[in-house]
Amino acid sequence: MNRQDWAICESVQRGMSSRVFQTGYYAPMESWSLDIRRYVAEKLGMGHLSL
């Protein structure tokens, strides 16, 4: 990560701290990561979680 990304990451973190934030979305390139998270949540009995 470079300095240019820092401001963007900090801005996203502030937004996620908002009381109106519920969930974000996964970009198409993150689909493998989402699949793994859903699999683990299901195996841990947490399939009801919004990922």
> What is the model's pLDDT at position 50?
58
Q: What is the value of pTM for the model shown?
A: 0.40
Label residue 18 by pLDDT band (50, 70, 90): confident
User: What pLDDT is attached to residue 36?
Assistant: 84
3-state DSSP assignment of residue 43: helix
- CA distance to 2, 13, 21, 40, 43, per residue, from 24 (Å): 23, 12, 8, 19, 22
Mean pLDDT (the chain, rounded): 79
24 pLDDT more than 80: no
Q: Say what percent of the chain tops pLDDT 90.
A: 0
